[in-house]
Each structure stands twice: as C-alpha cells, then as structure tokens.
Amino acid sequence: MSLIVQKFGGTSVADSGRLRHVAQIITDTYKAGNQVVAVLSAQGDTTDELIEKAREINPGASTREMDMLLSTGEQISVALCAMAVEALGFPVVSLTGWQAGMVTNTVSMNARIKKVDTERIEAELDARRIVIVTGFQGINRYDDVTTLGRGGSDTSAVALAASLHADLCQIYTDVDGVYTADPRLVPHARKLDEVTYNEMLELATLGAQVLHNRSVEMAKKYNVSLEVLSSFSGNPGTKVKEVAKRMEKSYISSVAKDTNIARIALLGVPNEIGTSFKVFSLLAQHNINVDIILQGIGHEEGKDICFTVAQSDLAMAEKLLRENQERIRFRVLETNADVAKVSVVGAGVIGNPGVAAKLFEALYDAGININMISTSEIKISVLVERRDAEKAVQVIHDKFFAI
Amino acid sequence: MSLIVQKFGGTSVADSGRLRHVAQIITDTYKAGNQVVAVLSAQGDTTDELIEKAREINPGASTREMDMLLSTGEQISVALCAMAVEALGFPVVSLTGWQAGMVTNTVSMNARIKKVDTERIEAELDARRIVIVTGFQGINRYDDVTTLGRGGSDTSAVALAASLHADLCQIYTDVDGVYTADPRLVPHARKLDEVTYNEMLELATLGAQVLHNRSVEMAKKYNVSLEVLSSFSGNPGTKVKEVAKRMEKSYISSVAKDTNIARIALLGVPNEIGTSFKVFSLLAQHNINVDIILQGIGHEEGKDICFTVAQSDLAMAEKLLRENQERIRFRVLETNADVAKVSVVGAGVIGNPGVAAKLFEALYDAGININMISTSEIKISVLVERRDAEKAVQVIHDKFFAI
C-alpha cells in the first residue's frame, strides 16, 4: 500500500463537472489500494473575485484580513470535492489548513510553512478515509489564518508529502507535463518523461509556469518524488527526481523563453571599486530582483554596467537609480523593455562545451543577434530582441531535438 | 465603558455599501467609548448559493461537509467588514467561530453552543480592538466546523453577550423592532419600546420572524439585555427584558398570525384512558410538533380529538395515523389545511379575563367563526378559516390598540 499526495489546481476544480472528474481520479487511486491525500486550490477565478470584493471595500486592507478572506476559496473547494467523493460512495473527510496542522510563520499573504502536525491526517488515513486538504493556507502561532502566496498550493502538497513520507506527490495541472519547449510555440515539442530537480528549478525561474520554485526547492530538499501531469488528459506526466534518465546525446531537457524582462544599462560609471555594490544593494533594499548582469572590463573613461530586471520592476528601478545618480556617478541610463530571455536547461550543460556552441550556431544561422549571455551549471540564457524570441526558441529546439 | 455585542443579519451586510454602513454603526459605538463585539451572518444569498452548489454535486452530501462549506459564508462577511472598519481607521480583528472559542456539540448543521472560550476575544478587547465574529458557526470537540441551524447567528450573539457579560446585545435586522401587529397587514400598527422575554418567545413561536426562539430562550436564561433594531433606519428599536414597561390599559403587546398550520381531527375515538397518549407519542416519535389540542369530554359512542400541526408535517402525520388506525381505533380522520392561527400576546393576559372577552367580541362583530381556542399565561390563540386571518388580525388590533 502506497501513500500518494495529489494536488489539483484551480482550473482542475473550476466547476462541478471538473470536481466530479477530480473525485474520480482520487477514488481510482484509492481503489487501486493506495492511501490518498488530495490538496486543492480555490476554484477557477474565486481568488480573483474575492480580491476584487476586498478592493471595492478597502484597497489598503490589511494582509491579515486578506488571508481571512482568501482562505475561504480553498475551503469551498475541499468541501465540494469531499461531497463529490461521498457521491461515489467512498469514505472521505475535508480539512482546512489549520485542521491539517499546516503551521506557518506570521507573514500574512506570503507565509512559509514551518512544520506540518500530521496527527489528524494520519488518524483519518488510519480510519481508511480519503483526506482532502486546502492548499495555499495554514495557521500561525497566534491561531490566525495565513496564506502562502504564489504557487502556495504546490508547496502545501510537497510539504504534506514530505511530512507524511508519501511515496509520490502528483501535481495535476492543465498541461501534460514538462516539454522540450512550449508546445504552443514549437508544435513538435516533446514531453519529457523525467527531469531533475535542478532542471525543474531553472525552468520555473525561466518562466515555465508548471511548478512553483518554492515547491521544487522543498521537494529537492526532502527528496519527494514529484510527478507533473494533466487532470484533463489522463496521460502519464513528467517525473521530477534527483537523477533523470535521458535519451542518449540529449544534453539539454528544455528550451524556454521569458518576455517579462527589461534591460537597464548604466553607461560611463567610474572605473573604481564599490560601484556595483552601490547599484545592486540599492535595488536589493527595494526588493528588486536582478537577473543577468554584464559588466565590461572598463577603461579610463569609466565602465558600463548592464543588467535585467522583471518588467514590473523597471519603473521603480529607473526611479531609484536616477535619484541616486550623483552618488553612483553614472553618465547615462538607458532602458529597453523590448527584450526577451531565451534559455536552454539541462543537466548535460555542464561538461559539454558543445552545448553553448550549438546554441550560438542556431541563433547565428537564423540571423538573431545575441545581446547578453548568462550561464549556470545547468543553463545557458541569452538576451535577444523581443521580436526574435519565438523564432529563437524554435531554431534552438530544432537544433537540439531534431530527429 | 460598556461592552456591547451587535449582531447584523444577511440583508444588513449584503453588499459593500451595506458593509460600509455596518462599519459606521460599529465604529460610532466604539467612538462613544464602548467595547464592541460584532457578530455577522453571511452576505445576502451566499448561503443559498453555497447550498445550490452542493446540491449540484451531491444532493445527499454529509452534514459534516455541508458545515465545512457553509461556514465560509460568514468568514467572508467578517473579513470584508473588518476591512471596512480598517478603512475608517479603527483597530479591528475578525475571528471565525473556532478562533472565537464557540464550542458546540457534534450535531452538524444543527449544533448547540456548549460554551464560549472567551480568552482570545478578551485579549483582543484588552488591546482596544473592535472584534468581528462569524455568527452561525462553531467548532466541536473533534475540531470539526459546525453550524447552528436556523436563527444561529442570533444565538451566537446572545451566547457571546452572556459569556462576556456584555451590557447590551443589539440585534440589527431589516425591521425597526417588534410591532403591535405586522405593519404590512395593519398600517397603523405601533412599534413597542419594550417587550418581555416571554412575550418575545410567544411571538417567535407564532411566526414573527424578528428573533429566533433559541436566542430568546438563551437571553432569558442568562438575563442578557436584548434590543431589536434596524440597521437601515437608525431609529431606536424594541428592548427585550425580564419586565417591560407598558402603556396603561394595554394588556397585550402584539397580535400575530400563523398560516403555516393545518388541523387534524380524529372522530369516534374510544372513550378510554391512553388514547391521547397513543396518538401524541406516535407523532412525537417522528418529530412532529403538535400545537393546539382540543379534546371533547366524550360519551358512550366515543370522543373526538382535534389538534394542529405545521403544514409541512401534515402529510406525514396523516400517513402515520392511518397506518395505526387499528391500534388507535378512530372512526374517521379529517384534515383541513385552510386554517390560520391568530394570537394576542402580552404579560397582561394573565389576571385579565377581559382580554379573552374582548378578543371574542372583536371576532364576533366581524362575523369571524372561531374554530379552536388555546390559552397560555401570556397568550390567547384562536384557530380561524384561512380567508379570515388578515381581517381577524386587523379587528383584534383595532379593538386593543385603537386610540
């Protein structure tokens, strides 16, 4: 008998039809002789509707009361799903975050799970019940309801799987798994059977919306076997694990693009120690994340510093830098929001210098100019013009995955 | 400094405009130097919408999961109301039933409050916060969420007022208070400044939907000062207390009618001991409440037993009695659903034989036939034809309250 944690996202539980289908997946797993803990998000647009209600009343509502409000979304999902399971004739119980023992820190709307008191869930499993738990939420040490912020339900599922020593944590979503590229861009993209935690982490950072980073980090830390699959298709998904089997010669697992990015260039910065520190500590103080950084060697007249930030942070970053122009002493500030980041990810990048060469060759052949380059052990990212992004993904994919 | 519990029903918190208005009432009370605990129902039709969602998925859903679902309605109300109070700049915290320590028994969907652990609420009040609590819900000893059934939010408010030793419990609703008759039937009906607990209990039983019986019983038991008033008008309401001041000569406080009633007559029952017991214990075993009972003295050929039940129980009562006809040995069973009960209520009924005479005179003058009569210490009820009910209320009201 295995213990399986199954997580279903908002689109998977959007209406009664979808909920009945989810109940079928859950009870099929149970009938096969497994213990099942299901973790659910709020239905479809429920969370957005609740946020809209709050804005109407008080755009500056406290995060504590926002959590009180938003946490009702998942509670509605789990109760309705439990009813759907009851309708199929199986023993079931739904639990909220606090009933399931999801203890978090006290940061409202962006809480971190500190521990899971699994006593109640284990008692319910011992009684042979299917357990359906609210994702995205917990309780802090003051007995206040908290929510986990973006990707919270994935994290709830992985935390439960880790605490319960589950044999498998299945993340049901609206895509079939992890592909070698976005199938909407590259029609012949292939689904991967397995990827490593590290590859998944890079992919999540690069804008692949399959799994949230926090959940992958936690899965890696506690060695939770993950599987990403579709609640719609019924096909096998992609397994995420420490070491992934890979087809011969396929050094990389996936090509991704991120267009939510902008470039800032500071030109004519004095060529002296401490300038970079001034720039990046200023941005960090205001929670602005910097991605690719490129800094020339510099010469007597000064040096140039280029870096990328999320588009949503561009205005704030520009404002901060201009306010501090005298202190940082740059000559010119240039911004460009018409850029995109295209990346190849794979455990095979390290130790295969040919990967970079192949990537550059593909872009050269397509006449696409490379703006900046950044590499990690399992990733190579290049910055290109926004209008070239889709083509870049296609030609790189063809170069690496052509049959 | 007084401690005031204020309860707001579903229509009072139906949308953001109404919620802002409720926040104004709460903060005005707080600004006047009082501690305030507000108890809220779910918004408008929320509960009905949730019930509909549940029916769509599983018409036979367990009451445990129904409670899990329905309890979200009040949680949304209190979070939004707390945000509205925050917008006015006052310190506030919203609490669910379990956070507020509302401990109930384990009967889902119709739970009874066993005790209120007021520790959290008192700590919040000590910190000078306005406290907004979900009505209608609590937690049982297994840490499962429970709901209180009909009129539950009134009961929550009175239980909190009793446990916190509040100075006043205000029930805000969509009517101005308790009237001498339904103002829709009797345009010149007058609002009463004060009524007694017992009068309020009789009025609730008689179909006046102002306060639920359970809450009045609890208020009487713990001597909680109640006030029923409108969240719409801003007028003073009706106080409910042990002893009520009454205008001179006004023996009765109110005239009420109840049309949700049916009469059953068993004719030719053997004139022997134990027949009534057989009939009424049979009905009680099936949770059928019997109201007015009339039994003739009887003679050799047998006796007749007449009684009234709620219309919704009529079919079941008739079926049970017919199934047991041989055992009870009645000759004929007659039913009549075209009846109505009209009652006068008042602490002055006892010790004033003139009240009954005046009532009968009013009906006689109007040519209305009296079918059955029932009296208690503070009430006289008569059964009339349905078509005469409205007129009966009017002529009785005029007889007692004419200026």
With CB atoms and an 8 Å threshold, state whether B69 touches A80. Answer: yes
With CB atoms and an 8 Å threshold, state whether B83 touches A54. Answer: yes
With CB atoms and an 8 Å threshold, state whether A68 touches B86. Answer: no
Q: Give the domains, in start order, of chain A with CATH numbers.
A: 3-174 (3.40.1160.10)
The tens-digit pLDDT sequence of chain A (403 residues) is 899 999 999 999 999 999 999 999 999 999 999 999 999 999 999 999 999 999 999 999 999 999 999 999 999 999 999 999 999 999 999 999 999 999 999 999 999 999 999 999 999 999 999 999 999 999 999 999 999 987 799 999 999 999 999 999 999 988 888 888 888 888 888 888 999 998 888 887 665 567 888 899 999 999 999 999 998 888 899 999 988 776 545 678 889 898 889 999 998 888 877 888 889 989 988 888 888 888 777 677 778 889 999 998 999 999 999 999 999 899 999 999 999 999 999 877 877 778 888 888 999 999 999 888 888 888 889 999 999 999 999 999 998 887 5
Q: Provide the total of helices (H) and of strands (E) in chain A, helices listed first.
A: 12, 20
Distances (CA, A) of A265 to A79, A147, A285, A293: 52, 37, 19, 10
Query: Which residues, other chains included, contact B302 with Cβ-Cβ below 8 Å and sequence gap of 6+?
Result: B267, B268, B269, B270, B271, B331
Q: Measured between CA atoms, how close is A53 to chain B, in angstroms?
A: 8
Band (B249; pLDDT cuts 50, 70, 90): low
pLDDT value, residue A250:
64
Which tokens hold the place of B341? 């009960």
pLDDT value, residue A403:
55
Q: Which of B355, B294, B304, B364 is nearest to B332 (CA)?
A: B304
For residue A75, give the nearest of B68, B79, B80 by CB distance: B68
Nearest CA in chain B to A60: B87
Q: Which residues of B are annotated as a binding site for ATP?
A: 7-10, 173-174, 179, 184
3-state secondary structure A262-278: EEEEEEEECCCCCHHHH
Nearest CA in chain A to B63: A83
Distances (CA, A) of A328 to A165, A265, A283, A294, B31: 51, 13, 12, 17, 51
d(CA B159, CA B161): 5
Q: Any chain B CB within 8 A of the CB of A19?
A: yes
Q: Which of B47, B58, B140 to mutate to test the interface with A (most CBs of A within 10 A)?
A: B58
pLDDT value, residue B209:
66
For residue B58, give the nearest of A72, A76, A87 by CB distance: A87
d(CA A186, CA A188): 6
Residue A318: its H or E element: helix A314-323
Q: Measured between CA atoms, how close is A202 to chain B, in angstroms?
A: 38
Distances (CA, A) of B389 to B209, B260, B312, B343: 18, 12, 19, 10
* Chain A residues whose beta carbon lies within 8 Å of the beta carbon of residue B79: 54, 65-66, 68-69, 72
For residue A54, give the nearest of B80, B93, B94 by CB distance: B80
Q: Measured between CA atoms, how close is B147 to chain A, in angstroms?
A: 14
What's the rounded mean pLDDT across residues B193-214? Answer: 80
Q: Which residues of A188-219 are buried (b: 16+ CB within 10 A; e: fewer)?
A: ebbbbebbbbbbbbbbbbbbbebbbbbbbbbb
* Chain B residues whose beta carbon lies within 8 Å of the beta carbon of residue A87: 57-58, 60-61
DSSP, res B15: S
Q: Which of A204, A210, A146, A226 is nearest to A178 (CA)?
A: A210
d(CA A244, CA A259): 28
pLDDT value, residue A387:
94
Q: Which residues of A are annotated as a binding site for ATP?
A: 7-10, 173-174, 179, 184
Q: Is the pLDDT of residue B12 over 60?
A: yes
Q: Which of A19, A49, A57 to mutate to test the interface with B (most CBs of B within 10 A)?
A: A57
Residue A112 pairs in a beta bridge with: none
Give the amino acid at B196.
T
pTM: 0.83
For residue B57, give the nearest of A71, A80, A144 by CB distance: A80
User: What percentage of chain B has pLDDT greater than the value 90?
Assistant: 63
pLDDT value, residue A56:
96
For residue B79, give the nearest of A69, A78, A86 by CB distance: A69
Q: Any chain B CB within 8 A of the CB of A79?
A: yes
pLDDT tens string A252-272: 888 989 888 999 999 888 887
For residue A83, give the nearest of B58, B80, B86 by CB distance: B58
Q: Which of B21, B27, B47, B76 to mutate to test the interface with A (most CBs of A within 10 A)?
A: B76
Q: Measured between CA atoms, how close is A276 to chain B, in angstroms?
A: 42
pLDDT value, residue A208:
59
Complete DSSP assignment for A112-153: -EEEE--HHHHHHHHTT-EEEEESSEEE-TTS-EEE--TTHH
* Chain B residues whose beta carbon lies within 8 Å of the beta carbon of residue A106: none
User: Alpha helices of A45-87 — where are they, by DSSP H?
Assistant: 46-57, 63-87
Q: Any chain B CB within 8 A of the CB of A62?
A: yes
Q: Measured between CA atoms, how close is A16 to chain B, in angstroms?
A: 6
Integer-rounded Cα Rg, in Å, for chain B is 24
Q: Any chain A CB within 8 A of the CB of B238?
A: no
A 10 A CB-CB count for A294 gives: 16
Contact B202, B376 (CB under 8 A): yes
* Chain B residues whose beta carbon lies within 8 Å of the beta carbon of residue A75: 68-69, 71-72, 75
**CA quadruple A38, A39, A42, A43: dihedral sign:** negative
d(CA B56, CA B50): 10
Which tokens hold the place of A242? 């420490």
With CB atoms and an 8 Å threshold, state whether A53 touches B143. Answer: no
* Chain A residues whose beta carbon lies within 8 Å of the beta carbon of residue B72: 72, 75-76, 79
Complete DSSP assignment for B84-107: HHHHTT--EEEE-TTTTTEEE-S-
pLDDT value, residue A113:
94
pLDDT value, residue B352:
77
Query: Which residues, other chains included, contact A309 with Cβ-Cβ below 8 Å and sequence gap of 6+?
Result: A261, A262, A264, A283, A288, A289, A290, A291, A317
pLDDT value, residue A207:
56
For residue B86, give the nearest of A16, A61, A86 by CB distance: A61
d(CA B274, CA A93): 48
Q: Which long-range contacts (CB under 8 A, 24 or more apart) does A379-382 make?
A: A379/A202, A379/A206, A379/A343, A379/A344, A379/A345, A379/A346, A379/A349, A380/A343, A380/A344, A380/A349, A380/A355, A380/A356, A381/A206, A381/A292, A381/A341, A381/A342, A381/A343, A382/A341, A382/A342, A382/A343
Place of tokens 């006068």: B344
Nearest-5° Cα angle at A113, A123 to A12: 75
Band (B116; pLDDT cuts 50, 70, 90): very high
For residue A61, give the nearest of B54, B61, B83 by CB distance: B83
Max CA distance (Å), chain A: 79
pLDDT value, residue A62:
96
* Chain B residues whose beta carbon lies within 8 Å of the beta carbon of residue A65: 79, 82-83, 86, 94
d(CA A111, CA A105): 6
With CB atoms and an 8 Å threshold, state whether A75 touches B80. Answer: no
Contact A168, A4 (CB under 8 A): yes
pLDDT value, residue A252:
81
Contact A398, A365 (CB under 8 A): no
Q: Any chain A CB within 8 A of the CB of B82?
A: yes
d(CA A178, CA A196): 11
Q: Any chain A CB within 8 A of the CB of B68?
A: yes
Q: Is the pLDDT of residue B96 over 90?
A: yes
Nearest CA in chain B to A56: B16
**CA quadruple A317, A322, A323, A326: dihedral sign:** positive
Q: Any chain A CB within 8 A of the CB of B56?
A: yes
Q: Any chain A CB within 8 A of the CB of B89?
A: no
d(CA B228, CA B17): 22
Q: Is the pLDDT of residue B207 over 60?
A: no
